[in-house]
């Protein structure tokens, strides 16, 4: 069993089903997503089938099941960003990375997620990459932003 999951489960010695969500939140905080292996371990601990846990977890859109990329991009689709063209930015991002929201690129470098307002409407349309905001994104500036991250790895 992964040490991380083991440590988390230790905090819930007599856990019942009502501890499922807090446990999953901690697992995701620590390893960035809910791997199949960790879901199975949590299931054994709570005496719940993994399929049931996946069922519950997919209901909450805070959980992700694929490993995030090294650079996790959140693209805001809130109202202010929408009005200023975030739909086009999203389309361009999908094209550049060849992935859709919730997916990770094959080289594991980028993952993306569509989110609601991230509280920086003055910067709309805005994207955040590993928590760093990029303001007033256009299809042109997006290309440069992605290129810059790619170059960091070259």
| Size of the residue set binding ligand FES (CB under 6 A) | 12
Between 48 and 80, CB nearer to ligand FES: 80
**For residue 124, which of 133, 112, 114, 113 has the smallest C-alpha distance?**
133
Between 32 and 85, CB nearer to ligand FES: 85
Please state the closest distance from residue 49 (CB atom) to ligand FES, in A: 39
Question: Residue 6 and residue 15: Cα distance in Å, rounded?
Answer: 14
Between 8 and 124, CB nearer to ligand FES: 124
Helices (H) and strands (E) in the chain, counts: 7, 4
Name the packing angle between helices 3-10 and 36-46 (round to 10°).
30
Q: Which of 73, 81, 137, 145 binds ligand FES (CB under 6 A)?
A: 81
Q: Which residues bind ligand FES (CB under 6 A)?
A: 76, 78-81, 117-121, 124, 126
């Amino acid at each position: 069993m992964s040490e991380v999951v083991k440590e988390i489960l230790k905090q819930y010695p007599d856990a019942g089903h009502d501890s499922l969500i807090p446990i999953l939140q901690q697992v995701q905080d620590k390893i960035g997503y809910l791997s199949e292996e960790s879901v199975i371990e949590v299931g054994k601990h709570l005496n719940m089938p993994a399929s049931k846990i996946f069922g519950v977890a997919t209901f909450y859109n805070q959980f992700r099941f694929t490993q995030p990329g090294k650079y996790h991009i959140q693209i805001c689709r809130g109202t202010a960003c929408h009005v200023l063209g975030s739909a086009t930015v999203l389309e361009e991002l999908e094209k550049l990375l060849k992935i859709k929201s919730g997916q990770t690129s094959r080289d594991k470098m980028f993952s993306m997620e569509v989110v609601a307002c991230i509280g920086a409407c003055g910067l709309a349309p805005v994207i955040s990459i590993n928590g760093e905001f990029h303001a007033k994104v256009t299809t042109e500036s997006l290309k440069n932003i992605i290129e810059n991250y790619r170059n960091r790895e070259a």
